Amino acid sequence: MRRCRAWFTAGVVAAGGVSLAGCGGPLSALDPAGPAASAIAELWWVMLIGATALFVLVMALLLWTFVRRGDGGASPKLWLVGGGLVLPALVLTPLLGYGLLTGERLLAHAGATDVVRVDVEARQWQWTFRYPAPGGTRISVNELHIPAGRPIDLHVGSADVIHSFWIPRLGGKIDAIPGHVNLIRLSAGQAGTYRGVCAEFCGTGHTMMDFRVQAHDADDYAAKLRALPQDGR
Amino acid sequence: MMDARIDQPAAATSPIRLHKQLDALWGTPGGWGRLAAVNHTIVGRRFIATAFVFFGIGGILAMLIRAQLATPRSAFLGPEIYNQIFTMHGTVMMFLFAIPMFEGFAIYLLPKILGARDMAFPRLGAYGYWCYLFGGSMLLIAMAVGLAPNGGWFMYTPLCSKAYTPGINADIWLIGITFVEISALSAAVEIIATILKMRAPGMSLDKMPLLAWYLLVTAFMMLFGFPPLILGSILLEVERAFDLPLFDPTRGGDALLWQHLFWLFGHPEVYIIFLPAAGMVSTILPVLARREIIGYSWIVISIVALAFLSFGLWVHHMFTVGIPHLALAFFSSASTAVAVPTAVQIFAWIGTLAAGRPQLKLPMLYLLGFFSVFVVGGLTGVMLAIVPFNWQVHDTHFVVAHLHYVLVGGFVFPMLAAAYYWLPHVTGRVPRHSLGVPAFWLIIVGFNVTFLVMHLTGLLGMPRRIHGYGAETGWEWPNLVSSLGSFVMAIGFALFTVDVVMHWLHGKRSPRNPWSAGTLEWATAVPPPNYAFASLPDVATRTPLQERPDLGNHLARGGGYLGFVRHDWLETLGVDVMSGRVEQIVRLPNRTLLPLFTALVTGVFFVAVLFKLYIVALLALPAIVAMLLAWTPVSGERCDRGALPIGNGAEAVLHSEAASPPSLWAMGLTLAADATAFASLAFGILFLWVVAPNWPPPAMIAWAPASIALAVIGLLIAFAASRAATSRRVIGNGSRRESALAIALLGQIVALVGFAGVIAAVPPPTQHAYAAATKLILIYAALHAALGVVFAGFGIWRSRTGYVSQRRSVDLRIGALWSDFTAAIGLATLLIVYGLPRVMG
């Protein structure tokens, strides 16, 4: 919410009407609650401002060609080199670098400390979460428990068709593909309840295939895990 | 032997008389005779009208979607019906509206802008149309009875595999769309051959109208883009019908193989849709800006670059499937790089407007709509190419908004502009603009209200393809806004339809060339006669009509080439690819019911496969081949005629005696598409080996030295003998060339026997994807050998019936091309089948 507010002024100028209220919501990527989602939301606001500026520029040029008086002036080469090559190069190169660096930061790099592992198994139409621990793996269905403030490595697989694991307020999505296990690192800044959904169409139950995310403080988390049933598998 | 005098043209005495002579020959009779039409003007109009009907159907489906999503927890449509509706909306708009609409425009316009009388293969165009109509009807009938495809328009496996979609729904998509795609491939071959070989004399490549460049590049993209889709569809249908586990991860298949094959087609598809529309912009805009377009060569280089790039960025549809970040970086860069050639075009257009004196006529209004909408789509496209942002918004309504900005902006708006621009040409009437302007405002306002807010809906977390949502999500008001906007847009399209019908019926007579355009299509009378040009022009510049405004009358008087009727032949000129120098007279086939009947038999094949009547399907295949062979007698000559006069003191040989007739090009292009399908299959095998779980397979192919030897020897004999048959020493002698062809035929049979033996050495194909894919690639090669038998037999038949001589060698050269190709992929197949297990250990 704070991030949204910080960009609020610029956002209004740029988008011309995206209001603060418009950014909220239990599944809003614009209301980030973790570092990954924040980084991406920031990327979005930067791109929105840039895109709006470019759009206004192109439309203004277009309008100018109709209302101008006299000769068009600029030589053809200037249009082609300036608009076709220089402008995209100036815009795209830094953007690409920014995007790749952001993406690189969000990856689940080895060597991070204090990482919590959760195994996610999607199937039509429910989510099963397994928490490997020395005392035996715990299990929960359609409710994911994580400790707040720690990086979580989610190992996502599927038992049947392709699904996609997505908690918009915490970060991007990762597909759950049968025969493969994909890894995504997420983190919740504060304790609280978040929501996740299946983002990849997976049949008639796709709409209903959502789950709750409970981020706990450290002590609560340990207690909650102990209260979960043991994995019978 | 014919008397040489007979080949002299009969001189026409007046334009009216010339028109009557040509019209009697090229025209299509009314009533049932219409079914026999092969003329490009008629076939093109049919494509356009049918595609527009499908656009209306797709639009109604869109309205149902918006009605469902207008309010939270709507009980209007249940998930079963909703899934069918959004799948059909995407499928109809992509495969049954956009591509056929472009094909229709291309077929209608191409000969006219190139200064030819028809497309290179009129019957192929008609056949493609019937395949499109029948295949599309299959999907509509399925929807009417509630069995429409329901897995989303990109049909991801394993959701669309038998285990999770046991009904007929997915089969209807796979079979119906493959049927329709025959028309896409045939159009691609026809368009390329026409542009390269059938231009007006003097129209070198650099003097072609830009639209022809756009259509040429688009057709090449179709030629290489559609084979992976068709191959993927066949693989999935084979998995569903015969349990070959190509996409089943428990038996060595991989769901991602489908995604790669689909998007390898699916991304170029976006540019296949955009480029022809951009070509229309590049045609209409300079005319209404009253200035030649700036940067002709820049644009040509841009669209070629776009075509290459578009095949290198399909993975940006797959950023969330777990591909390593370094690979994503590559595809992300390629995806953003696409903005460069697009920007070159945008600024070439703006620069043209700036340098000219633009008029805000109705087509220009729609072009401004195109600019505003398409630029937004391009900008959000760059956003989506940025990997981390893509992770958030992939599969949400943000993507839905983006793709509608690109496709409606990049295709529908230019098409509406094109409709208003060329309508006087099609109907011979001047539109009454009274409804075109309000229609524009309803469409553009409705569109932006619908889709601008949808970006936000996606950012607020709404995934694609859900049929309901709770009020607490905050998605209620943006969805309601979208739904309201969509109904405004629908009213706009309805108004456009009414406007078109009204001026078709009640418009004023249009003068020739109402826009003062420079391209050749406006040199015909409006509406155009079936033969397009009474005589063919000499072209020296890119805008021949600008330099010579009276060119149309000059041609109508028979002042150009071929301004006469000879032997009741349908003649047009063929040129050298680069220079546009006259090279040959292309004799075109007349109206015939064969394309319709061939399409009907093709339909029998597809319906039989759909209902698992495989005996019927197997009987239909030779019937299709026989029908196609029945096309051939009119496309050859039984005697050498030498050079014939073409008017204006010039002469040229008939295409049957030419060094590079269009049919030879068609064969080469078809083989290029074939090679792409083969390469996709080989890629699939390698991909499974490297990426899929549950490898290595339990059993490998057995060593079958005798069968391998037979296959290799047979392929080589067929290759050598077919080549020998076309050599100077052999082809001139009837019995020698027939013996060579007979040896080629035997060689193909030997190869077939060899392949049968190798196929028998493959482990049971339902056991593992390895065995399934190995069996399929061997069958692929064997099928080519089987068709090689047909080609060799065809050569013998043509030789016996007098169609072959040393000068008339094209039939045998086509057969030789086939044997070359069969030998190449046959040997490659054996290398893959026996080499890969050793390389991969």
Q: CA B432, CA B419: separation in Å to the nearest integer?
A: 13
Task: Evaluate whether A79 touches B351 at the Cβ level (below 8 Å).
Answer: yes
- Non-local (6+) Cβ contacts of B522 within 8 A are B425, B512, B513, B515, B545, B552
Our count of domains for chain B comes to 1
pLDDT at B433: 64
| pLDDT per position as a tens digit, B375-410 | 999 999 999 999 999 999 999 999 999 999 999 999
Closest Cβ–Cβ partner in A43, A61, A175 for B388:
A43
CA-wise closest residue to B784 among B718, B707, B703: B718
For residue A154, what are the β-bridge partners? Answer: A118, A184
Contact between B474 and A107 using a beta-carbon 8 Å cutoff = no
CB-based contact, B332 to chain A, within 8 Å:
yes
A100: its two tokens = 């790749």
CB-based contact, A4 to chain B, within 8 Å:
no
> Would strands B582-588 and A163-166 be described as parallel, antiparallel, or unpaired?
unpaired
* Confidence bin at B2 (pLDDT 50/70/90): very low
Highest mean pLDDT among A159-168, B1-10, B20-29: A159-168
- The nearest alpha carbon in chain A to B154 belongs to A201
Closest Cβ–Cβ partner in B152, B346, B460 for A83:
B346
| pLDDT per position as a tens digit, B741-795 | 999 999 999 999 999 999 999 999 999 999 999 999 999 999 999 999 999 999 9
Mean pLDDT computed over every residue of chain B = 95
Is B24 part of a structural domain of the chain? no
CB-based contact, A128 to chain B, within 8 Å:
no
| pLDDT per position as a tens digit, A40-83 | 999 999 999 999 999 999 999 999 999 887 665 678 889 999 99
| pLDDT per position as a tens digit, B535-555 | 999 999 999 999 999 999 999
- Non-local (6+) Cβ contacts of B144 within 8 A are none
Q: CA B61, CA B176: separation in Å to the nearest integer?
A: 19
Task: Evaluate whether A231 touches A137 at the Cβ level (below 8 Å).
Answer: yes
- The burial class, CB within 10 Å (0-12 / 13-18 / 19+), for B818 is buried
Q: Is the Cα dihedral B190, B196, B197, B201 positive or negative?
A: positive
Whether pLDDT at B312 is above 60: yes
Q: Where are the beta strands (DSSP E) in chain A?
A: 116-123, 126-131, 138-141, 143-147, 152-158, 163-166, 174-176, 182-186, 192-198, 210-216
Q: Which residues of B touch A87 (CB under 8 A)?
A: 343, 347
Q: What is the dihedral of CA B332, B335, B341, B342, to 10 degrees?
A: -130
Task: Show the domain range for B832.
Answer: 696-839
Is B792 part of a structural domain of the chain? yes
pLDDT at A13: 43
Q: CA A179, CA A181: separation in Å to the nearest integer?
A: 7
ω before A7 within 30° of 0 (cis)? no
What does the domain layout of chain A look like in residue ranges? Answer: 2-106, 116-227
CA distance A13 to chain B (A): 16
| pLDDT per position as a tens digit, B153-163 | 999 999 999 99
Closest Cβ–Cβ partner in B255, B339, B389 for A177:
B255
Q: Which residues of A touch B320 (CB under 8 A)?
A: 164, 172-175
Q: Which residues of A touch B290 (CB under 8 A)?
A: none
Closest Cβ–Cβ partner in A39, A80, A180 for B344:
A80
Beginning with the edge strand found earlier in the chain, give each strand of the sheet holding B644-647 in spatial order.
Answer: B570-575, B582-588, B650-654, B644-647
CB-based contact, B356 to chain A, within 8 Å:
yes
CB-based contact, B74 to chain A, within 8 Å:
no
Q: Which residues of B touch A106 (CB under 8 A)?
A: 388, 391
CA dist list (Å): B314 to B84, B264, B477, B606? 26, 5, 34, 29
CATH classification of the domain holding B743: 1.20.120.80
User: What is the value of ipTM here, to two decimals?
Assistant: 0.93
Is B833 part of a structural domain of the chain? yes
User: What is the number of CB-based contacts under 8 A between chain A and chain B?
Assistant: 258
Q: What is the mean pLDDT of residues B490-500?
A: 96
Name the fold adopted by A116-227: Immunoglobulin-like (2.60.40)
User: Which A positions 37-76 lie with beta carbon below 8 A of chain B?
Assistant: 37, 39-40, 43-44, 47, 51, 54-55, 58-59, 61-62, 64-66, 68, 72-74, 76
CB-based contact, A168 to chain B, within 8 Å:
yes
Q: CA B483, CA B486: separation in Å to the nearest integer?
A: 5
% of chain B with per-residue pLDDT over 70: 98
CB-based contact, B302 to chain A, within 8 Å:
yes
Contact between B256 and A177 using a beta-carbon 8 Å cutoff = yes
The DSSP symbol for A51 reads: H
- The burial class, CB within 10 Å (0-12 / 13-18 / 19+), for B430 is middle
CA distance B391 to chain A (A): 4
Closest Cβ–Cβ partner in B328, B337, B347 for A79:
B347
ω before B201 within 30° of 0 (cis)? no
- The nearest alpha carbon in chain A to B251 belongs to A179
Is B526 part of a structural domain of the chain? no
The DSSP code sequence of B515-581 is T---SGGGGS-SSPPTTS-SSBPP--SS-HHHH-TTHHHHHHTT-SBT-SB-TT-EEEEEE-TTT--
- All residue ranges of chain A with pLDDT < 70 are 1-22, 70-73, 233
pLDDT at B775: 97
Q: CA A195, CA A206: separation in Å to the nearest integer?
A: 15
Q: CA B530, CA B508: separation in Å to the nearest integer?
A: 22
Q: What is the mean pLDDT of residues B96-108?
A: 97
